[in-house]
Amino acid sequence: MNKKSNAVLRLIGILLLTIAFCVLGYLNAKNIKLGLDLNGGVSITYQTVEENPTAEQMSDTVYKLQMKAQSYSTEAQVYQEGKNRINIDIPGATDANEILAELGEPGTLQFADEDGNVLLTGDDVKTATAGMTNQNNNREYVIELHFTEAGATKFAEATKNNVGKRIFIIYNNEVISSPNVKEAITGGQASISPIESYEQAQKIASTIRIGALPVSLTELRSNVIGATLGAEAISTSLQAAAIGIALVMLFMLCVYRIPGLAASLALFMYVGLEMVLMQAFEVTLTLPGIAGIILSIGMAVDANVIIFTRIKEEIGAGNSVEKAIKSGFEKALSAILDGNITTLIAAAVLYIRGSGTVKGFATTLAIGIIISLITALFVTRGLLTAFFALGATNPKLYGIKKETKVINFIGFRRIAYSISSLVIIVGFIFLAMNKKNTGDIFNYDLDFKGGSSTTITFDKDLSMMEIDSEVIPLFTAATGGNASTQAAKVAGTNEVIIKTRTMTTEERTKLYDSLQEKFSISEDKIVTENISGAVSTEMKKDAVWALLIAIFCMLIYIWIRFTDIKFASASVMALSHDVLITVTFYAVLRWAVGSNFIACILTIVGYSINATIVIFDRIRENLHNGSKKKGLEYVVNEAISSTVTRSINTSLTTFISVFVLYIFGVSSIRDFTLPLMVGIVAGAWSSVCIAGPLWFDFVILSKRKKEQLSKK
């Protein structure tokens, strides 16, 4: 079989696979789990048995219920309502009774020996998670237990005294597990194995977590609530996605020609695979999740741009198209792998250490990274070689990169440092001013600060469109126009729940009067309660620690791969720069800081590291190909100059996707995409003007220190 026949078969095979994935993803799109904002879910309110629980008890209970609720959905929200109530919103669920049966009433958890003596209680357990191990090539499901400091001491004593016996884990007087003690266990960690299935391990682990509650709860009410945003949000987001993809494809075709066509076809497969894997991994999709997917579509072309730039360079150096394609993929491989593996490490850490929005974000990020690697390294390459074999041999069809004009970025670095420093300093000034004027450094949204939840029983069933146009404006007027709102309908009733910032007595009176006047409803059909933030203090700590550990792991990986800690240090400083620039805009423009803020910052970190690594990869290459003889300054300037087009093009395609989403998206999507656009610009600036020059300065500083030491 000749090359043309092979090329035709390869092309047909890739196209059929692309069509299959897209069709499969589309037909089963209804199986994708949707969050509360898109599809509604179950809302359950618990009340404490004790009349006056302490604030610490309520805070601990909210956090542990959040851990339990996440076994149903990573996007579940738990928040305090009033002084002794806790509300749990679980997206995608439709049967409140089923959820209540599975969730159960939180009760007592005890660890007891065979004689019934209580050895530990739920208070001694820090957390419990389901896991999987391989023992002698056999898969085993386990439960990993982590105890508090006091619990670790008790557990060590309990296992020491019960070697060869069973310890019974009892929840509400029912034995949920009875593992055999093989040896004394110290260190505050233990595992229970084997468990029949992963689902069983998850169920037991979540029961142990919820059993450690500091207060007892009883069910007060449960409702099935409708989507908080309605069908319009989904349709506009999908419309934005279609336009964004079309614009990115058009850009790729115009700039990269035949390679751009290959990338566009690969992008279709990317979308299809994304939908299929989201179904397979049961990812709960929220509106920010849609934004994240559209953003990842813009980022998916990054690897292709790196490859195509290399191909252009090879053709410009006089190589044949066939050799240029092969060499382009080979030379781009290290930068692509390093950039994606670094971000994948961050995603893994965020998934393990994070909770709620962070965990959901990490899942979507990891899926996007893996798919982009597959489509760039295999699909795009297969398409390019097929096109070449079918007659696309003219170098003009691939583009020819002219000799790089070396720009003196090192000479510009002090100006770049000054500009960035000035912006960041302004940010800190505004943070201090905000703290002084409002008591908070940021304009915290409901998710962080809590507010008021108002339940209104109307005389008729209002649509989300009617709520947005007729009800929400009354809340806006009552709060002076400076409060964000979240609205949801209670299925099967005429009740509407609207959350806003904490309202004063005067604002409530004004709101009640306007509701009664416009809808002729009595005051007894309007109930307002204060609620806590859905993002608890513990969740914030989890997110911060997850981010810090992720950055640390990225630093270690870059250090190992580039065999120089100066590369890693410059990378982390560039990432910190991008985050601080974004924070500055949040502070100066008073953008609302909610749960999406965490996902936004994580997206910026994951995005900007790729561009920095591409430049560092070129610096590493220049250090080994003889360019070092021209001086270190030339090495850095040439590396940045040769990749600056790639940095601009990648940032532009990503910016296009996000900008289209901003134009067509609903208000909550705009709140998410606006900071992302700032982060994209900041990431492009830091990669080109900050990261490389920082590495240069670190090297010079290191040399000076060595010289000073040698003189001594």
**Distance of CA 27 to CAs 20, 30, 103, 449, Å?**
10, 7, 32, 40
* Domain boundary assignment for the chain: 3-32+231-397, 41-106+220-225, 109-212, 409-427+536-703, 451-531
538 pLDDT above the threshold of 70:
no
Question: Read out DSSP for 319-351?
Answer: --HHHHHHHHHHHHHHHHHHHHHHHHHHHHHHH
182 pLDDT above the threshold of 70:
yes
State residue 159's pLDDT score. Answer: 92
Give domain 409-427+536-703's CATH superfamily: Multidrug efflux transporter AcrB transmembrane domain (1.20.1640.10)
151 pLDDT above the threshold of 70:
yes
pTM summary value = 0.75
DSSP class of 378: I
239 pLDDT above the threshold of 70:
yes
Grade residue 416 by pLDDT with cuts at 50, 70 and 90: very high
Instruction: Name the CATH code of domain 41-106+220-225 (choices 3.30.428.10, 3.30.420.40, 3.30.70.2740, 3.30.70.3400).
Output: 3.30.70.3400
Q: How many CA atoms lie within 13 A of 461 on its CB side?
A: 6
Grade residue 539 by pLDDT with cuts at 50, 70 and 90: low
Amino acid at 621: E
Grade residue 453 by pLDDT with cuts at 50, 70 and 90: confident
Better-scored residue on pLDDT, 175 or 97: 175
Q: Are strands 189-195 and 125-135 parallel, antiparallel or unpaired?
A: unpaired
Grade residue 399 by pLDDT with cuts at 50, 70 and 90: confident
Grade residue 347 by pLDDT with cuts at 50, 70 and 90: confident
Sheet strands side by side (includes 118-121):
118-121, 109-112, 168-171, 174-177
522-537 mean pLDDT: 78
* pLDDT tens-digit map of 628-652: 788 899 999 999 999 898 888 888 8
Of residues 652, 656, 654, 632, the one with CA closest to residue 644: 652
State residue 124's pLDDT score. Answer: 86
Select the highest-mean-pLDDT range: 95-109, 133-147, 315-329, 412-426.
412-426
| First and final C-alpha spacing in the chain | 72
State residue 49's pLDDT score. Answer: 82
- 291-310 b/e with 16+ CB inside 10 Å = b? bbbbbbbbbbbbbbbbbbbb
* pLDDT tens-digit map of 560-574: 988 889 999 999 899
State residue 480's pLDDT score. Answer: 77
φ/ψ (deg, to 5) at 70: -70, -15
39 pLDDT above the threshold of 80:
no
160-181 mean pLDDT: 88
695 pLDDT above the threshold of 90:
yes
Amino acid at 690: I
Q: Which CATH number applies to 451-531?
A: 3.30.70.600
85-94 mean pLDDT: 78
SS3 content of the chain, % helix, strand, coil (to 5): 65, 15, 20
* pLDDT tens-digit map of 467-476: 888 888 898 8
Grade residue 226 by pLDDT with cuts at 50, 70 and 90: low
State residue 465's pLDDT score. Answer: 77
Q: Which CATH number applies to 109-212?
A: 3.30.1360.200
For the chain, helix (H) and strand (E) counts, in that order, are 23, 19
Answer whether 41-106+220-225 and 451-531 agree in fold: yes
- Contact, 49 vs 194, CB < 8 A? no
- Give the integer Cα–Cα distance in Å for 578 and 600: 12
- Give the integer Cα–Cα distance in Å for 489 and 464: 8
The beta strands (E) that lie in 417-525 are given as: 443-444, 451-457, 486-489, 495-500
Q: How many CA atoms lie within 13 A of 654 on its CB side?
A: 33
Domain 3-32+231-397 - what CATH class?
Answer: mainly alpha
Per DSSP, the three-state class of 476 is helix
% the chain with pLDDT above 90? 23
Which range has the worst mean pLDDT, 207-211, 263-267, 494-498, 690-694?
207-211
